[in-house]
Amino acid sequence: MAGMAETSRPRGGDHGTDRTDRTPARRKAPQARHAAGPAADPSDAHLEHARDGKLKLNRPKRGLIDETEAQQIAEDRARLQQQGIGGPLDGRMLSNPAATDGDRPQVRPQAEGWKQQTTEDGRPLLQFKQPRVAQPKTHLADLTLAERQAKVAELGLPAFRAKQLSTHYFTHFTSDPDRMTDLPKDAREKLVAEMMPPLLTEVRRLTTDNGDTIKFLWRLFDGALVESVLMRYPGRVTLCVSSQAGCGMNCPFCATGQNGLTRNMSTAEIVEQVVRANEVIAEGALGGLRKDGGHNAERVTNIVFMGMGEPLANYKRVIASVRRMVDPAPEGLGMSARHITVSTVGLVPAINRLAEEGIPVTFALSLHAPDDELRDELIPVNSRWKADEAIDAAYNYFVKTGRRVSIEYALIKDMNDHAWRADLLGKKLNARGRGWVHVNPIPLNPTPGSIWTSSEPDVTDEFINRLEAAGIPTTLRDTRGKEIDGACGQLAAEGDEEPDGAVTEAGGHTGAGTSGTIDIRG
C-alpha cells in the first residue's frame, strides 16, 4: 500500500503524497510559479512567453521520446563506464559506476502463488464495472444534508433532527443511540436504524509494537472483506482507505487483485473508515505520541486512496466520499481537500474527469515503469491507455488545477529499477514541462525467493540520482507496518480466520502478499 509510506529522505523534493506545501510560492498561479528555477530557461522546448512576458508551459508535445533509442544510449554509456571510459552524467558523476545496467538481468512480472484471470485471447482480464450484487442500505453519509433532512421528514420528525444526527456522526464519531441524548428517547432507536445502518464490522486489528500504525480488517454487510491502515506521524494522522472490495485491474504483484472485483464500496462505506478511525483515535488506541511537547493530531488529517481497489473505477462514489470528507461539519468531516490523495493506475478518461471536478485533491499516478513494453505486463490497464497517455492526463490535471502531481514508482529488483528507465522517466516528465511533478520511489519489503523484492541500495541511489540529474524533484519513501504486513489485500486474501472483533497483536500474523509493506496499487 503506497499510503503506508511517508517521506523520510527528501531528494530534490519536499513532501510525500499526503503532505501539502503551505509556502506562499505554492499559492501562486501555475504560470507564475514556473517563472523561477529550472523552468526559467526560454530555450526549453516546452516553454514560451505569454503576452504578459512571463513564461508559460506549452501543451505536451508528442513524439519527443524514442524509447528504443533512450535505452540503447543508456546501455552504451553503462558499458563504457564499466570500462572506465567517461562517467559524467549531465555534469554529475555516477554515485557508483558499478550500479549500471550492463550485466543486470531483466526480470519479467508474473503472479506468484495465484493465477491471473485472463480473457479468451490470453490477456489479463480487466473489470471496470462491478458485478450485479446487492448494495448496502442508504446511510446518512450517502446523502447531502438537505437529502438527510428530507428523509428525516419522511420519518415524521422535524428536519433539524438530521443536523443533530449528522453532528453525532461527523463530529462525535458515534452511531450509538444511547449517546444521542439530545434526540427524543422514544425516537432514537428508529431514527438511528433508518439513518445509520451498520456498515463495517471489525474482524481483526493489527498494531505495531510502538502503536503508531494500526491495520484494520473490516467485514461489509454482505461478507466482503476490506482493509484500512491508520498511521500517526508528527503533527498529523494519515488513513489509507479502500474504495472497492477486491480489484479488477489484475496487476500480477497485487494481493488485492487475486480474486478480481467483488463490488464497489458505497460512499458511506468509504467515509465510515474515517469515522471509525477517528473513534479509535479518540479512545486513545493509536500510539506513537510525541514526547517532545509537539502537536499531536487528534483525528485523521490526511487521507490516501491507496488501499484496496482502483479508486477511479468507482468514480462516482469516491468523489461523493471526498465531498463528504471536505464538507464542513456537520454536513461532513470538514477536512482539507489538499490533504486527500487520490491514486490510480492510469484510467485516463477518469483522470481528465477528476481534473474538472473543482476539488483540489492531490493526484498520484502509479506508473512503476516508463516504457510500455514492461508496463503492459506490470500494469495490465496499460494495454488500454499507454504510459504516455497516462502521463499526459496527469499533466493535464496539473494544468487544470495548479496542483503538483505525484508519480508513484515502486522499485523492484532487476525488474523496473534499471538506470536507463530513470533516464527515460526523466525525459518523459521534462518533455511536458518543469515544476509540475515529483516522483516518489517506493522500496518494496524484501521477500526471500520472490521476484517481487526491493532494489539494492546502490541501485536505488543511482535511480534517484538520475532523476535528480534530470531536474526531477524526487523523494524516497520510508515504509510503515512491516511487522503487521502492511500491504492491503494480505489479510483479506487470507480470509476470516478469527471471530468478529478479535484483535491480533503485531507478530501474530504471517504475510500472504508479495509486496510487503507497501502494495503498489492494491
Residue 318 is classified by DSSP as H
47 labeled part of a ligand binding site: no
Query: Could you tell me which of 261, 263, 264, 272 has the C-alpha nearest to residue 228?
Result: 272
Under DSSP, the state recorded for 124 is B
List the helix and strand counts (H, then E) for the chain. 13, 17
Pairing of strands 88-89, 47-49: unpaired
The H or E element containing residue 165 is: helix 160-170
Cell of 397: 490535471
Q: Which three cell numbers stand for residue 418?
A: 534499471
- Does 175 show up as a binding residue in the annotation? no
Place of cell 449517546: 179
Tell me, what's the pLDDT at 449?
Answer: 87
Residues classed as catalytic: 227, 488
> SS3 for 436?
coil
247 is in an annotated binding site: yes
* 257 in a known ligand binding site: no
Q: Which amino acid is at 64?
A: L
* 171: its cell numbers: 463530529
CA distance 28 to 36: 12
Please answer whether residues 229 and 216 qualify as being in contact, where contact means their C-beta atoms are separated by less than 8 angstroms: yes
pLDDT 10s digit of each residue in the chain, 522 long?
Answer: 444 444 444 443 333 344 333 333 333 334 433 333 344 343 344 444 455 554 444 444 444 445 555 555 555 555 555 555 444 333 333 344 444 576 789 999 999 988 999 999 999 999 999 989 999 999 999 999 999 999 999 999 999 999 999 999 999 999 999 999 999 999 999 999 999 999 999 999 999 989 999 999 999 999 999 999 999 999 999 999 999 999 999 999 887 888 899 999 999 999 999 999 999 999 999 999 999 999 999 999 999 999 999 999 999 999 999 999 999 999 999 999 999 999 999 999 999 999 999 999 999 999 999 999 999 999 999 999 999 999 999 999 999 999 999 999 999 999 999 999 999 999 999 999 999 999 999 988 777 889 999 999 999 999 999 999 999 999 998 666 555 554 544 455 555 444 333 333 332 222 223 333 333 333
The whole-angstrom separation of Cα 258 and Cα 54 is 51
Q: Can you tell me the distance from the alpha carbon of 494 to that of 504, in angstroms, rounded to the nearest whole number? A: 14
CA 56 – CA 40 distance, rounded (Å): 9
Q: How far apart (Å, rounded) are the C-alpha atoms in residues 209 and 401?
A: 40
Identity of the residue numbered 121:
D
Question: What residue ranges in 314-367 does DSSP mark as E strands?
Answer: 340-344, 362-366
User: 240: annotated binding-site residue?
Assistant: no
251 is in an annotated binding site: yes
- Please tell me whether residue 10 adopts helix, strand or coil conformation: strand
pLDDT of residue 507: 28
Q: What is the CA radius of gyration of the chain?
A: 24
Cα–Cα distance measured from residue 125 to residue 129, given in angstroms and rounded to the nearest whole number: 12
- Do β-strands 88-89 and 92-93 pair in parallel, antiparallel, or remain unpaired? antiparallel
pLDDT at 494: 57
Task: For residue 368, say whether it is annotated as part of any ligand binding site.
Answer: yes
Give the separation between CA 378 and CA 391, rounded to whole angstroms.
16
